[in-house]
Amino acid sequence: MSALIQRHGAALQGAFSAATVAVCGLGGLGSNIAILLARAGIGKLILIDFDRVDITNLHRQQYKASQIGVYKTDALTDNLREIAPYIELEAHTERITEDNAVMLLKDADIVCEAFDDAKAKAMLTDIVLSEMPDKYLVTASGMAGMGTANSIKTRRITSRFYLSGDEISEVSDDIGLVAPRVALCAAHQAHTVLRIIAKQFEV
């Protein structure tokens, strides 16, 4: 903690360590967001994903070859514990749906949408913004392919709804996901979370 106060200052670090952030989806976006927030000294992370680590994840997601086949919630919990032993972690190995989202996210101050499926992104956005009006939502849209890094940006759509990405680059058979560009988008989201906690709401 004193090391973090040295880096961030006591006031900022106090706010970071008092915050609870939910990360919905632990793939290329979510695994990077969680590690960035853990390093920054966020007090508690709620990690939600139904899937296991697959060999095709390793090119962009923060897992190790030795973790193939392990639930992402378990693998990321282990990795985060090595990086930030004092963080509080709550993991849910299940799919987020319209029926369980309110319950799963109830303790979060800020929700990060880090899914890969566009319909799931829209579903979570709808439910968080319509049924959880006290929370902030940080979403992502458009980070596939080899486009310039400089087109990844963050917009504030409403007072509690942020969107990171280039908003156009969709995954397809021809356009995959490349580690640095996905990580850039994840870093945008993680930094937006920190700025919200620091009450710097403009982008």
Partner 1 sequence: MVRANGEELDIAGKTITEYLAMTDYDVRVIAVERNEEIVPKARYAETVLCDGDVVEIVTFMGGG
Task: List residues near partner 1 by CB under 8 A.
Answer: 25, 27-30, 114-119, 121-122, 125-126, 129-130, 139-144, 157-159, 161, 163, 165, 167-171, 177, 182
Calculate the CA 35 to chain-centre distance. 9
Cβ closest to partner 1, residue 156 vs residue 195? 156
Min CB(73)–partner 1 separation in Å: 16
In the bound state with partner 1, the residue whose beta carbon lies nearer, of 48 and 114, is 114
Q: Where are the beta strands (DSSP E) in the chain?
A: 20-24, 44-48, 88-92, 110-113, 136-140, 153-158, 161-165
Q: Which is nearer to partner 1, 182 or 197 (CB)?
A: 182
Provide, rounded to whole angstroms, the least separation between the CB of residue 68 and partner 1. 20
SS3 content of the chain, % helix, strand, coil (to 5): 45, 20, 40
In the complex with partner 1, the residue whose CB is nearer, 75 or 129, is: 129
Q: How far is the CB of 1 from partner 1 (least distance, A)?
A: 32
Identify the DSSP state of 203.
Answer: -
Among candidate residues 13, 54, 1, 4, the one with its CA nearest the CA of residue 198:
13
